[in-house]
Amino acid sequence: MNQEKLIIFDTTLRDGEQSLSSSLSVQQKVRIARQLERLKVDVIEAGFPISSPGDFESVSTIAREIQRPVICGLARLVEKDIIACGKAVKPAKRPRIHLFVGTSAIHMEKKLKKSEDDILSMVKQSIRLARRYVDDVEFSPEDAGRTGLDFLCRVVEHAIRCGAKTINIPDTVGYTTPEQFGAIFDDLFARVPNIGEAVISVHCHNDLGMATANSITAVSHGARQIECAVNGLGERAGNTALEEVVMGIKVRHDLFRHLRMAIDTREIMHTSRLVREICNMPVQANKAIVGANAFAHSSGIHQDGVLKARQTYEIMTPESVGLRENRMNLTSRSGSHMVKSRLAALGYNGPEVDIAEFYGRFIALADKKGSVYDDDLVALMEAKNAGDLADRFTLEYLNVSSGLGTVATATARMAHDGKTEQEAATGDGAVDAATKAIDRIAGFKITIEHYHLESVTEGREAQGKVTMVGRAAEGVFVGTGTSTDIVEASALAYMDIVNKIARMKKFRRKLPQQKSSMADEL
Ligand code: KIV
Ligand code: ZN
């Protein structure tokens, strides 16, 4: 079959960055752009050069350093914007200028105070000026979703005649419904005589949670470029999430056989994590494709089904988006089948494993702890009786003082082996000082490889849950701690690790190497 190209236009660094509370540095933007190149997006919208000297520099640095994708900059229909944008994208192998102007009645009357004819003449002058800098000009009638259809058709036809190669149809305020949006594309294809001379693009916002549906509908109705952002970043509720539209088209290949994309989907997870870290924007756990739970099967029935045949509850593999394995969340709802399979993966698959007996102890632990990790399973397996699982160290007292201009100091008192010990330590912050004081008593050497804090409940008195991954000579351990005080939650998570190491030492058995992968999964 003759497949048509579906262009993936990434606007993480422009629309996405606009939504952040603090702007990204040039180096941070270049790091994201490099990863977008690895992901094989077709177009990177690198910024809005006139908006600040930093943005100008980011766009021009990316234009110089990133080779394969088209590098695009945004400009209003204003001479100084277009000149700055033309200069910023100039070093790129394939530069693009993206022009936009409001075309809905509310934008023209209230924001721009321009008539339809004013807009048409601005479009002509601006496209001509942009074409002096680049061949590749994109034009967006901003708020197209709320623009009268007659004027939308007129302005699109006009922009193509003036030399725009791509016409983007933005649902700027995320107002349209998929059916309505599809009809706008049908009308454009039916009524604009020169529409075949340009690529038609879609740009949706997620104010009503319909950005992905609207973008995919637009593709079904003839759009051949999707504008989107990693993790759905963007103004207000965000832009269409890149990972969602790409996997939507890929997974439903049965509906989109006529299209091909260049994206290497195995880079999606890595790109998402990088953007999350650099932009300091968390991703909700149940976010499609890239959320922590997107491939985690929790209920016993689901886990059992996945073990028998993955397709029972998986429409795509975790590997297809770059996740090495699907993480089964072991809880008290996990069936014995699932627990048996996890034990086998950890090397406990011989005749000595009495799964019926083990499962009872597993449920008791899961009821107590909530989540059960691999290292908990190992400890439980190795424990000959309940006493073996008792904590060797108990944190009885913790006092931490820290603040601006002071050295953080912590005093910890712990009970262990029938005695009580107290130690103090200073550190680089309250958590560091507290863990150092604990180390002095426990005497273990632990390197924290991962630290994650999440709020369990809402409001000022919210409970903070800390998850830490610590590496010691005995292996890699996951510790969790919950408290309304986040330093205390951190100390409790650290104590969880300390007690796991103590238990492991007692069992004199090294954890299987495989568990180091858990640190990456968290
Ligand atoms: O949402 C929007 O309309 C935009 C334009 C600049 C394309 O971001
Ligand atoms: Zn936008």
Atom of ligand 1 nearest to the CA of 168: 7
Q: What is the pLDDT of residue 511?
A: 36
pLDDT at 491: 96
- Of 259, 273, 279, the closest CA to residue 321 belongs to 273
Which ligand has its closest atom nearest to the C-alpha of 240? 2
DSSP code of residue 237: T
User: Is the CB of residue 295 below 6 angstroms from any atom belonging to ligand 1?
Assistant: no
- Looking from the CA of residue 205, the nearest atom of ligand 1 is 1
Reported as half-sphere exposure (CB side, CA atoms, 13 A), residue 508 has a value of 0
**Cα(266)–Cα(243) distance, integer angstroms:** 11
Average pLDDT of the residues in 448-461: 73
pLDDT of residue 520: 30
Is the Cα torsion angle 100, 105, 109, 110 positive or negative in sign? negative
Instruction: Say which DSSP state 512 is in.
Output: P
What tokens were used for 3?
Answer: 């497949």
d(CA 276, CA 272): 6
Task: Map residue 423 onto helix, strand or coil.
Answer: strand
326: pLDDT strictly greater than 60: no
Residue 461 has pLDDT above 80, yes or no: no
| Candidate from 205, 207, 215, 240 with most ligand 1 atoms within 8 A of CB, to mutate | 205
Mutate to test the pocket of ligand 1, among 98, 111, 142 (most ligand atoms within 8 A of CB): 142
Nearest Cα to Cα of residue 448 among 465, 432, 437, 426:
432
3-state secondary structure at position 100: strand
Nearest to 212 by CA among 122, 287, 126: 287
Question: Please, what is the average pLDDT of the chain?
Answer: 90
At residue 351, the pLDDT reads 79
The percentage of the chain sitting over the pLDDT mark of 70, rounded to a whole number, equals 93
pTM of the model: 0.72
Confidence at residue 319, expressed as pLDDT on a 0 to 100 scale: 92
Listed residue (138, 114, 113) closest to 126, CA to CA = 138
pLDDT on residue 57: 96
The CATH superfamily label for domain 4-279 reads: Aldolase class I (3.20.20.70)
* Per-residue confidence band for 230, with pLDDT thresholds at 50, 70 and 90: very high
Give the pLDDT band (50/70/90) at residue 385.
Answer: low
What are the tokens at 381? 């397996």
d(CA 346, CA 358): 15
Nearest Cα residue to 87 out of 73, 101, 70, 69: 73
Span 303-321, pLDDT tens digits: 888 888 888 988 999 999 9
Q: Tell the residue nearest (CA) to atom 6 of ligand 1.
A: 100
* 170 C-beta closer than 6 A to ligand 1: yes
* Tokens of residue 459, six digits: 């409001």
142 lines ligand 1 (CB under 6 A): yes
- Percent of the chain scored above 90 by pLDDT? 68
The confidence score (pLDDT) of residue 243 equals: 98
Cβ of 240 less than 6 Å from ligand 1: no
Q: Where in the chain is the domain with CATH 3.30.160.270?
A: 389-521
Q: Is the CB of 104 under 6 A from ligand 1?
A: no
User: What is the residue with the minimal CA distance to atom 5 of ligand 1?
Assistant: 142
> What is the band of 481 on the pLDDT scale with cuts at 50, 70, 90?
confident
Position 516 pLDDT exceeds 50: no
Q: Does domain 389-521 have CATH number 3.90.1150.10?
A: no
Least confident of 25-29, 123-127, 160-164, 439-443: 25-29
* Band (55; pLDDT cuts 50, 70, 90): very high
**146 Cβ closer than 6 Å to some ligand 1 atom:** no
d(CA 204, CA 206): 7
**Distance between CA 88 and CA 410 in Å, rounded?**
51
Tell me where in the chain the CATH 3.20.20.70 domain(s) lie: 4-279
Pair 184, 145: CB distance under 8 Å = yes
Nearest ligand to the C-alpha of residue 142?
1
Rounded to an integer, what distance in angstroms lies between the CA atom of residue 328 and that of residue 299? 9
Cα(284) to centroid(ligand 2), Å: 21
Average pLDDT over residues 4-14: 98
Q: Find, among 197, 183, 290, 310, the residue nearest to 241 by Cα.
A: 290
Q: Are 450 and 476 in contact (CB under 8 A)?
A: no
pLDDT digits (tens, 9 = 90+) for 121-162: 999 999 999 999 999 999 999 999 999 999 999 999 999 999
**How many A from CA of 278 to the centre of ligand 1?**
23
Backbone φ and ψ of 228, nearest 5°: -155, 170
